[in-house]
């Protein structure tokens, strides 16, 4: 029957809430587990879950942005490498130029290292007067030492010959008072030509061998060629020139004493020897000069560098330029 057949006015049936099946099932369950629970036992302690491991509310994952470095382009890498190579090349060029400059300065000033230690002339080892310094073993290369020494000995022979020429002209003047001009000129030649020969052709060739200087070679060739011409004139012995050459010596035979004639002939022989040695040494020096590969253009460059590096010339040129500028 449906629920409408019940009597709503009948007494309500006593319903025991504890008779409900779900309640009776729970109350009838064994209670041994709760009564036997010991919270201090090792088993329960081992199964205790730490607070840090307890599942908590899920945190959202935060992604950290990754910043990747920008890669240089191949053009930038090539440009940087080229700039580095250019800097290195400039540094190498600067160092090479500096070394070249120092080498030239060392070659040009090597003679000044012993300015206060003059050791020549050395005719008398105990002579207190030393006029200049030279050292063939340290300043002249080994290939040029022999020829340089021969030129030095030629200059010494040149000086001795001029002194003997002075004595011969003096003896000639004593025997013949009309030869006063020759005696006076012989004194002048000895006073002038002795230092001039040293400064004008010996020191240039010494400097040329020492520093391989083309300009010094050209100075030597020009002056030494003139020196050979003077030797030829002296050995000829033209009258009234202050030279005891062959003509002057032969002219005294039968007119002057035999001693005077012999002295003048010896001097003429010395002049001849100087001329022959000069021709021989000039040829030797020229052959050595050709081996060095020097040229007239190189001599011009060395001369211009020496002129423009001279402080006196630069100051004079600067003063002239300022004067011209003010005048305009």
pLDDT in tens, 9-32: 655 555 566 666 665 665 555 555
Q: For residue 282, what pLDDT is reported?
A: 93
pLDDT for 39 equals 58
Min mean pLDDT across 69-73, 128-132, 226-230 is at 128-132
Report pLDDT for 202. Answer: 92
Report helix, strand or coil for 175. Answer: helix
Confidence at residue 313, expressed as pLDDT on a 0 to 100 scale = 41
pLDDT higher for 74 or 194? 194
pLDDT above 60: residue 58 = no
Backbone angles phi, psi at 245, to 5 degrees: -85, -170
C-alpha span between 120 and 290 (Å, rounded): 30
Percent of the chain with pLDDT over 90: 27
Distances in Å between the alpha carbon of 118 and those of 113, 135, 144? 11, 10, 22
Model-level pTM?
0.56
Over residues 111-125, the pLDDT tens digits come to 455 444 655 655 545
User: Residue 88 above 80 pLDDT?
Assistant: yes
Alpha helices in the chain (DSSP H): 21-27, 32-35, 42-46, 74-109, 136-139, 145-175, 180-197, 203-211, 214-236, 246-251, 258-291, 296-308, 311-327
Q: Return the pLDDT at 99.
A: 85
Label residue 57 by pLDDT band (50, 70, 90): low
pLDDT for res 47: 52
C-alpha 124, offset from chain centre:
40
Report the pLDDT value the prediction gives residue 15, as an integer from 0 to 100.
56
pLDDT of residue 321: 46
What pLDDT does 296 receive? 47
Mean pLDDT of 250-276: 90
What average pLDDT does this structure show over 242-260?
Answer: 87
| Domains of the chain, residue spans | 142-290
Give the confidence band of 225 by pLDDT, cuts at 50, 70, 90: very high
pLDDT at 87: 87
At 257 the pLDDT is 83
Residue 147 pLDDT greater than 80, yes or no? yes
Identify the pLDDT of residue 69: 59
Lowest mean per-residue pLDDT among 90-104, 133-147, 199-213, 297-311: 297-311
Band (pLDDT 50/70/90 cuts) for residue 298 is: low
* C-alpha torsion sign, points 41, 42, 46, 49: positive
* 258 or 108: which leads in pLDDT: 258
Name the residue with higher pLDDT: 186 or 100: 186
**What is the pLDDT averaged over residues 269-293?**
89
- Determine the pLDDT at residue 137: 83
Q: In Å, what is the CA distance from 215 to each residue of 126, 205, 208, 265, 295?
A: 36, 10, 8, 38, 9
- φ/ψ region of 242 (left if φ > 0, alpha if ψ in -120 to 50, else beta) reads left
């Amino acid at each position: 029957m449906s629920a409408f057949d019940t009597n709503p006015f009948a007494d309500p049936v006593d319903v025991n809430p504890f008779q409900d099946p779900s309640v009776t099932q729970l109350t009838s369950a064994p209670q041994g587990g709760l009564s036997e629970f010991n919270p201090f036992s090792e088993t329960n302690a081992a199964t205790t879950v730490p607070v840090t491991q307890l599942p908590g509310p899920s945190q959202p994952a935060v992604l950290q942005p990754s910043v990747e470095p920008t890669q240089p382009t191949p053009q930038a890498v090539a440009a940087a490498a080229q700039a580095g190579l250019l800097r290195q090349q400039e540094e190498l060029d600067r160092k090479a130029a500096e070394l070249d400059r120092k080498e030239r300065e060392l070659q040009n000033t090597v003679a000044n290292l012993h300015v206060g230690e003059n050791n020549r002339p050395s005719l008398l080892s105990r002579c207190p007067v030393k006029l200049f310094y030279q050292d063939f073993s340290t300043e002249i290369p080994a290939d040029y030492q022999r020829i340089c020494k021969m030129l030095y000995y030629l200059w010494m022979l040149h000086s001795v010959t001029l002194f003997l020429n002075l004595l011969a002209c003096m003896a000639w003047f004593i025997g013949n008072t009309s030869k006063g001009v020759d005696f006076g000129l012989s004194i002048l030649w000895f006073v002038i030509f002795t230092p001039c020969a040293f400064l004008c052709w010996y020191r240039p060739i010494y400097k040329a061998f020492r520093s391989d200087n083309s300009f010094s070679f050209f100075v030597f060739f020009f002056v030494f060629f003139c020196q050979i011409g003077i030797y030829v004139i002296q050995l000829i012995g033209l009258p009234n020139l202050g030279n005891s050459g062959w003509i002057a010596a032969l002219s005294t035979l039968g007119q002057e004493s035999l001693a005077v004639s012999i002295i003048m002939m010896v001097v003429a022989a010395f002049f001849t020897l100087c001329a022959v040695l000069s021709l021989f040494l000039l040829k030797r020096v020229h052959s050595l000069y050709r081996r060095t590969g020097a040229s007239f253009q190189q001599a011009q460059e060395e001369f211009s560098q020496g002129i423009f590096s001279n402080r006196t010339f630069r100051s004079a040129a600067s003063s002239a330029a300022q004067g011209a500028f003010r005048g305009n």
